[in-house]
Amino acid sequence: MAAIVTGLIPILRTAVDTTTTYKGRTVWFGFLCIRLVTLFVAEMPWFKLNSDFSCSITRDNVCTRACFNQHFDKPVVMVWNYIFVLLILSVLIMELFTTHIHSVFEKRTREKKESLGELKSASDPDNNTTAMMILDMHGSRNTVLFYLFSIMLRILVEFWFVYVLLYWNLSKLNQGVFICKSYDTGCPDQECLVSGTAEKRMSIYALVSVSVVGIISNSLFCIHLIGHYLL
């Protein structure tokens, strides 16, 4: 996870320094950075989930692992990281779209200058190719609809993340004691538990709070876009 943090921060900084911007852009990248830090901290209590799982009757490694696999049959950390990647993709969709709009704008501007015989050389100080271009939401309904699509996709991913946190992870911790049956494993019936549940619950609460804030912010921004640009 530390490698992910180290590798993504320069990418986010490069994306923020691009030549095209739009409303709410800084907010979305800010949320990604907050999520990245929260995810890094929240994963720490879950790194040793396997070793935190212990049983009462036997210390046999095979029986303990069999009981662990029986109850924790869904991934935890990998799903969290995968959902974070989906959130990044939901933001990059709009970034790719604005890059396309910017390239089309530059091409049309260049063609217009060439047709007028006013194309300036690259050494001309008045030829500012790095000027910031603000995406005009009033000028294109399709741009607003595409922006709404990226935000709604982000909301769906956030809702899925909250579902995973509450029904996959938190529900397991709330069980307290895990009853393991022998079945065909040859292991005795025993009771098992996970240590450090307080830290694990707190990490889930932290991630849920960030997701709820993200859902509220994205929903309010959707209402703003619809009311200000479409209605």
Q: pLDDT at position 125, please?
A: 45
The answer to whether position 197 is within a domain reads yes
CATH number of the domain that residue 59 is part of: 1.20.1440.80
The answer to whether position 136 is within a domain reads no
Please count the structural domains in the chain: 1
The answer to whether position 84 is within a domain reads yes
110's tokens:
């260049």
176 pLDDT band, cuts 50/70/90, is: confident
The answer to whether position 139 is within a domain reads no
Q: What is the mean pLDDT of the chain?
A: 81
Q: pLDDT at position 42, please?
A: 93
Distance CA(179)–CA(197), nearest Å, equals 17
Give the range among 74-83, 133-142, 148-157, 201-210 with minimum mean pLDDT.
133-142
The answer to whether position 221 is within a domain reads yes
Phi/psi zone of residue 186: left (φ > 0), alpha (ψ -120 to 50 degrees), beta? left
115 pLDDT band, cuts 50/70/90, is: confident
123 pLDDT band, cuts 50/70/90, is: very low
Crossing angle (nearest 10°) for helices 77-116 and 2-16: 20
Give the range among 12-21, 123-132, 133-142, 192-201 with minimum mean pLDDT.
123-132
231's tokens:
């209605």
In this prediction, residues 113-133 reach a mean pLDDT of 52
48, amino acid identity: K
The answer to whether position 125 is within a domain reads no
Tokens 């690259």 correspond to what residue?
122
Q: pLDDT at position 144, please?
A: 86
Q: pLDDT at position 130, please?
A: 43
pLDDT tens digits, residue range 77-90?
Answer: 999 999 999 998 99
Residue 133: strand, helix, or coil = strand
Q: pLDDT at position 129, please?
A: 44
Q: Which domain holds residue 163?
A: 1-107+144-230
109 pLDDT band, cuts 50/70/90, is: confident
The answer to whether position 126 is within a domain reads no
Is the full-model pTM beyond 0.85? no
The strand pairing partners of 21, in sequence order, are: 134
The answer to whether position 118 is within a domain reads no
Tokens 């992910």 correspond to what residue?
4
